[in-house]
Structure 1
Amino acid sequence: MTAMTKSLLAWVCLQLPMLAYAERPRTESVAAPVSEAERYARRCQSRAPHRTVKPQGTMLWGTRRDWDTEKPAGERSSVLVSASLEPLRRADAQVTGLKLEGGHLVATSTSFAPGTPEARRVMGTVLQGTAGDGKPVEVAICGAEPSPEDPNMVWYRIEAWNALAQEWENPCVALDRVPDPRALAVSGVWDFNGVHREAPGQLTFACENGAITKCIHWGYKPWASRDGQSLAGLHQACTRMARADYCGNGRNHTHEDTPIDMYDRLGVIARTTESSAEWDLARASFEAAWAPDGATCLARTRDGRALETILQECPDRFRTDAALDLGEGDRCTARRVDVNPRSALLRNQSYGAPKTPVSPGGGL
């Protein structure tokens, strides 16, 4: 055997293990199942690294779309969309149940010592959750931090059981500005169309980088009221506005961190009238007016696509035969056929378009 032949055989032998590894089916990467006792013992231990992804557009729940980072998933997918307050999957022996009061969870018990912090009472509780595909997923409460701005609102650090990796992980998507996101407990459930419904015993753990929580942070707390009027409708309209969900079908038409200025009928947030480092009035123009089920009228799109694409996405929703002046310089090009645009709860401005309205079918 020549030296060249020996060298070739040695090279082949070295490559065989590598080729075998590369050809392994992906199913072998799924972790082996653990027992129920071990699963619950692992909760809130920060065993798994925080996995981050680059979200496509603005999120509703702020959660990961799928545990498998290589699996394509639509924007209306989520590893966790809701949780049930009963029955409790696991809890402190002294906890008999949980209830949601405004913006925080309260543990019911007859044996906690007086003065025990609520955060201590709910720590480690595991609730039965549901993913966007309807499959069950357990969610553990690992921490509770009262908001400095509102003591009745509590930020929760949560983990959900990733059956693929057999680990507890934070289901919230991390972004540069919020690398370790928390969640708020919000009454009711949002479906993949972005529709909110109240459901007895059901809540949403809305993550910090999602539209549900953003709108609460901006001032639209759905459990609160202003001048005797509930803010629930304004909050829901805000979730549509935050994601530029013009058609009310759960699809966004924006990009992450796009600047916007919003103002509402109740005066919770007023129109910005002076330029600052955060907002340039010279670049801003009216975009749309909003109701809980989407835009009531619009002048242009936020992400620069042609207005015609929105009209095609929901073909029977808007009319373009006559522009409508809402006052204060806000002028609609397309208006809803089934509601009065002037009844909108919320309006917004954004960057990227000239001051004059975009003609139907025109681009930015």
Structure 2
Amino acid sequence: MEKFLLVCLFLQLPSLAHAGPPASAKPSPMRSAGRVSDAERYARRCQAQSGSRIARPQGTMLWGTRRDWNTEKVAEERSSVLVSADLAPLRRAEAGVTALRLDGGHLVASPAPEAGDALRGVVGSVLQGTDSDGKPVEVALCAAEPSPEDPGMIFYRIEAWNAVAQEWENPCVAVGRVASPRALAVGGVWDASGAHQDAPGKLTFACENGAITKCIQWGYKPWDRRDGKPLADLHQACTRMARADYCGNGQSHTHQGTTIDVYDRFGMVERGEWDPAKASFEAAWAPDGATCLARTRDGRALATILQECPNRFQTDGVGAPGEGVGEHCTVRRMNVSPEAALLRNLTFAAPKGAASAAKAP
């Protein structure tokens, strides 16, 4: 039976109105807040909080985190209040816990807890994290919830210390369908260009509304293997595809609600029924971006992509060998074989103004 995956990318979030805060609500990030002591700061982690929502439209997200604690600041798309965390040393831990380690899709306390609750010792820990500017930020693990589809994969409710408001806050961007997003613990770190780097002792808390977690939920778990081969490259290619990061530079080119059909060369996800009147081939993907591009997802002219990453694509050799039926490229990567592409996608409801062809500027 054919498997197919129709994915609605809600990667450019609409503006979300602030709810009127009750009298006990935490201070706004714009308010002046006195510095609290270390003891008071840790005592206040993981407590019940009134909701706060981002009041600015967000661009497409890699980590799924806020760009900046100051919601009035217009932050660059590739910035984040939390991009990585250190497994050790811990800033705070439950009694007896000296470190955490990452085992596939979940964290394990060290030394290992006695028989019983495998999550014991993880919740309550405070890790040293880093934002996209390289500044330190603490992150607390407040709850752990196994995934119903895969009990070995754990979603964490996390809080990061907002030094502007002097409060613990969920760093994950909330949307209507996921109003209180959680995060997965994923090995390694992603930089501003969207590239993944193995970094021993470091992990990424990837929020539910970001591409890193979306791709894991679509089946591409970077810690898993298929036929003896790791899925890390498939997952990385997926993060490029989910955000329409053609140039592999971390810049996305998609809009909210764009429906795509995702499929791969290994049969993990197969292409569904394709009606050319409703969907058309968009691109083939490698871990460092698109290898073959028919048109853009957001409707901009292909010439703008050629300008964004010059000397990356060429316009000759349309319909390079190795492409599937109906997968005709308008531009393709220079000096890259078709076999380098791990994933492909169709896009439904072609955006108005989409370029059908482009010449180098």
Task: Give the structure-2-normalised TM-score.
Answer: 0.87
Q: 1:104 aligns with which of 103, 106, 126?
A: 106
Deviation of 1:265 after TM superposition, in Å, equals 1.1
**Which residue of structure 1 lines up, in the alignment, with residue 223 of structure 2?**
223
User: Identity over aligned residues, as a percent?
Assistant: 68
Whether 1:328 aligns to 2:325 is yes
**Which residue of structure 2 lines up, in the alignment, with residue 11 of structure 1?**
none
- Deviation string for 1:102-158 (max 9, x for gaps)? 000000126x4431x133321110000000010000000000001111111000000
Local SS of the residue matching 1:235: helix
Rounded Cα–Cα distance in structure 1 between residues aligned with 2:245 and 2:46: 35
- Cα gap change, 1:303 to 1:172, in 2 (>3 Å): same
Whether 1:172 aligns to 2:189 is no
Answer yes or no: is the 8 Å Cα contact 1:238–1:292 preserved in 2.
yes
- Cα gap change, 1:194 to 1:53, in 2 (>3 Å): farther
Rounded Cα–Cα distance in structure 2 between residues aligned with 1:195 and 1:80: 16
Structure 2 regions of 5+ residues with no counterpart? Answer: 1-27
**Which residue of structure 1 lines up, in the alignment, with residue 122 of structure 2?**
122
- Compute the RMSD of aligned alpha carbons: 2.0
Larger RCO (CA under 8 A, 6+ residues apart): 2
Rounded Cα–Cα distance in structure 1 between residues aligned with 2:356 and 2:30: 53
**What residue identity is the alignment partner of 1:346?**
L
Deviation of 1:268 after TM superposition, in Å, equals 1.2
**Which residue of structure 1 lines up, in the alignment, with residue 279 of structure 2?**
284
Whether 1:358 aligns to 2:360 is no
- Deviation string for 1:221-242 (max 9, x for gaps)? 0000111111100000000000
Answer yes or no: is the 8 Å Cα contact 2:137–2:160 preserved in 1.
yes
Whether 1:348 aligns to 2:345 is yes
Rounded Cα–Cα distance in structure 2 between residues aligned with 1:51 and 1:248: 30
Task: Give the structure-1-normalised TM-score.
Answer: 0.86
**Which residue of structure 2 lines up, in the alignment, with residue 296 of structure 1?**
291
Whether 1:339 aligns to 2:351 is no
**Which residue of structure 1 lines up, in the alignment, with residue 304 of structure 2?**
309
Deviation of 1:338 after TM superposition, in Å, equals 2.5
Q: How does 1:179-258 map to 2 (within 5 A)?
A: 179-258=179-258
**What residue identity is the alignment partner of 2:100?**
L
Local SS of the residue matching 1:164: coil
Q: How does 1:47-66 map to 2 (within 5 A)?
A: 47-66=49-68
- Deviation string for 1:192-212 (max 9, x for gaps)? 000000001000000000000
Q: How does 1:260-279 map to 2 (within 5 A)?
A: 260-273=260-273
Deviation of 1:94 after TM superposition, in Å, equals 1.9
Rounded Cα–Cα distance in structure 2 between residues aligned with 1:202 and 1:260: 32
**Which residue of structure 2 lines up, in the alignment, with residue 82 of structure 1?**
84
Rounded Cα–Cα distance in structure 2 between residues aligned with 1:81 and 1:357: 35
Answer yes or no: is the 8 Å Cα contact 1:57–1:256 preserved in 2.
no
Rounded Cα–Cα distance in structure 2 between residues aligned with 1:173 and 1:120: 27
Answer yes or no: is the 8 Å Cα contact 1:333–1:357 preserved in 2.
no
Answer yes or no: is the 8 Å Cα contact 1:33–1:166 preserved in 2.
yes
Which is further off, 55-64 or 164-173? 55-64
**What residue identity is the alignment partner of 2:341?**
A
Rounded Cα–Cα distance in structure 1 between residues aligned with 2:223 and 2:329: 31
Deviation of 1:281 after TM superposition, in Å, equals 6.0
**Which residue of structure 1 lines up, in the alignment, with residue 37 of structure 2?**
35
How many residue pairs align between the two structures? Answer: 329
Deviation of 1:292 after TM superposition, in Å, equals 0.1
Answer yes or no: is the 8 Å Cα contact 2:189–2:196 preserved in 1.
yes
**What residue identity is the alignment partner of 2:89?**
P
- Cα gap change, 1:45 to 1:224, in 2 (>3 Å): same
Rounded Cα–Cα distance in structure 1 between residues aligned with 2:313 and 2:222: 28
**Which residue of structure 1 lines up, in the alignment, with residue 160 of structure 2?**
160
- Deviation string for 1:325-362 (max 9, x for gaps)? 512211101000131134300000102439x9811159
**What residue identity is the alignment partner of 1:291?**
A
- Cα gap change, 1:32 to 1:48, in 2 (>3 Å): farther
Deviation of 1:36 after TM superposition, in Å, equals 0.4
Structure 1 regions of 5+ residues with no counterpart? Answer: 1-25, 275-279
